[in-house]
Structure formats: C-alpha cells, structure tokens
Amino acid sequence: MEISGGRFVITGGASLIGSHVADRLLAEGAKQVLLLDNFSLGTPQAVAHLENDERVKLVRGDILRVGELFDAFEGADGVFAIAGFLTLPLTQNPPLGLAVNVDGMVNVFEACRYRGVKKVVFSSSIAAIGEPGVEPITEESHSNLAAFQAGTKLYASTKLIGEALCQLYSAKHGVHGVALRYATVYGERQHYRGVNALYIIENYDRIMRGERPRISGDGSEVHDYVHVSDVARANVTAMASDVTGEVFNVGSGVATDLRELVALLLKITGSDLEPEYVDAGGAVKSTSGSHIDFRVEKAERMLGWKPEVSFEEGLRQLIAWRESETAD
C-alpha cells in the first residue's frame, strides 16, 4: 500500500504511540490522518503539535461504539488499531478493559469489513508470549502465561485474541491484518500508565527532585526497551507492506536490567545520587525475570524494519522532551 496520498485512521490517536505514528505518516506524505480517541487515556496535548496541519483531523470517538467507527473509517485505506487498555488500567478496571480490548477490536474489524478498508495494523504486546525463559523469544514461541499476575494474564490474553482477529479477518473477509508485538515502549510524550516504562519516568522525576532513584528488588529484572519512533516506523512499514496474517516482534533486541537503566538516568542527568534498593512486592508487573532474548529478525526479513535508536540515545531524547515540557 502506498502511504503517500493515502487516508488513514489511528484509533487511540491521541496516545504516545498513536501520535508518533501520525508524525510518521505525515512525514511520508499521507493525504489524511484521522485521529480517533475518546480521551479516557489519551490527551489532546499529545497531538497538540499537529493541530495546524490541514491533513490531520482529531475526532472524539470510542471503539466500543461501532457506529462511530463506521463514520470514521469511510474512505480510509488503512487503520492502525492502537486504542486499548494497558496492563495497569486493565487491572484497575477489568470489565471496561476487557470490553475495550476484545469487543472493541471486533468492532474495528467489522467496521473495516463494512467500509472496505484494505488493512489493519494491530498493536499487540510481548506480553502475549508470557514470562520470558532462557530461550530466544521469536514469533513462533509458545505462550506461557501461567507465571503472570492475574491482571497481566488478562491483558496478554486480549492481545492473543487481537492477533487471531488479524489472521481470521485476513483469511475470511479480505481485510488484511498484521500484528506487532511491542517490547517496552518509551519516548517523548511518555505517559504514566505503561507498567515498565513508568519505571523510567518515575525515577527520572525522583532524580529531578533530588531524591534517590529506586531499584526494585536486586535490580536484575530485565526488559527490552524500544523507542517510540522505532515503533511508529514499524507500524507504517507494516502498513505499506504486502504482508498479511503475520505477527512480528518489535523491540530493540537488547536486554537491559534495572540497575543499568538507573545508571543511565544518573549519567544523563549528571547526578551523583546513590540508588536505593526497595521491595517491589504488590506492584503490578508485566514480567519480572532476569533474562530476555527478544528476537526481531522476522520483521527485518519480511518488512525491512529494524530498530535504529539505542536505549541511551532514546533516554536522552525523552529527558530533553521532559525538560522542554518543564520549561514551558
């Protein structure tokens, strides 16, 4: 699919990822980008920088109201299905979170079928695989959700359902679908809802207040942190491709533990504060293991995508954005 001259809808358009996908679409010459959001989790501030772009339309809408999707998807070439509850808000409100993540995705695909939308790119998650073991995590890895907390298990299950909808509607109804399994996404316009990315911004805020950054447990917990600009590029690349019915891992391919993360924050901020180790008992977590090997070779092979932003570079960009926000 040609991005240049195309018309696209982003559900959850006023979110961290949605706003960056919009940036990428516009940079590649999209004719129209409709941002659909009910603003329960997204904020108009996330897309305020786009308000004077005539190609952008911001619409209040909800994926649980299928009629609003029928209206929004009219004339659209592709839909980026980003709207959804993350682990933390879903844990806090399971009835609504499950409805949004499951019924909402069914509504998205039904509206695409009704309106003749060519393709959906669905925002899935590494959580669909479960707690990482010592083996490499590929798209063919078996899901093992048994070790997850209950809320995380529910969230992961909704992502598996979304992936299956991509495959089903592609095979049965001709609505092409690609699912992208994100690692821990962070970056400019960072919010306070992502369980693992929240750890970054909370510790940065502590350092700025002159408080010691906190390391959970012994600090050996690892994650794969992927910058939001790389995620946005993966979305647009997947939309432009002829690939359908596939799932792709989207991450940095680099494991970083909590001690390394905090050390980088202290280095970038020029702080000499000493970290303190704290008990993280009771906190909502997505994963807590000391090993992760998230492979992204399939995306490079089939989509021509690979990560470009290192974790240190991405943290520097995030902190520069936070500083500019504080200055304003």
Average confidence (pLDDT) over 217-230: 94
pTM above threshold 0.85: yes
By CB atoms closer than 10 A (0-12, 13-18, 19+), residue 304 is exposed
pLDDT given at position 195: 58
Minimum mean pLDDT range among 239-248, 254-263, 273-282: 273-282
Amino acid at 282: G
Statement: residue 188 has pLDDT above 60: yes
pLDDT in tens, 83-117: 999 888 899 999 999 999 999 999 999 999 999 99
pLDDT digits (tens, 9 = 90+) for 118-172: 999 999 999 999 988 889 999 999 998 998 999 999 999 999 999 999 999 999 9
Read off the amino acid at residue 252: S
Q: What is the mean pLDDT of residues 264-268?
A: 97
Give the residue among 167, 154, 56, 42 at the shortest CA–CA distance from 109: 167
Distance CA 18, CA 80 (A): 8
Rounded (to 5) percent helix, strand, coil in the chain: 45, 20, 40
| All domains in the chain, ordered by first residue | 7-186+226-251 (3.40.50.720)
Query: How far is it, in rounded angstroms, from Cα 229 to Cα 98?
Result: 28
pLDDT of 193 = 59
Alpha carbon distance 196, 152 (integer Å): 12
**Dist. CA 183–CA 311, nearest whole Å:** 13
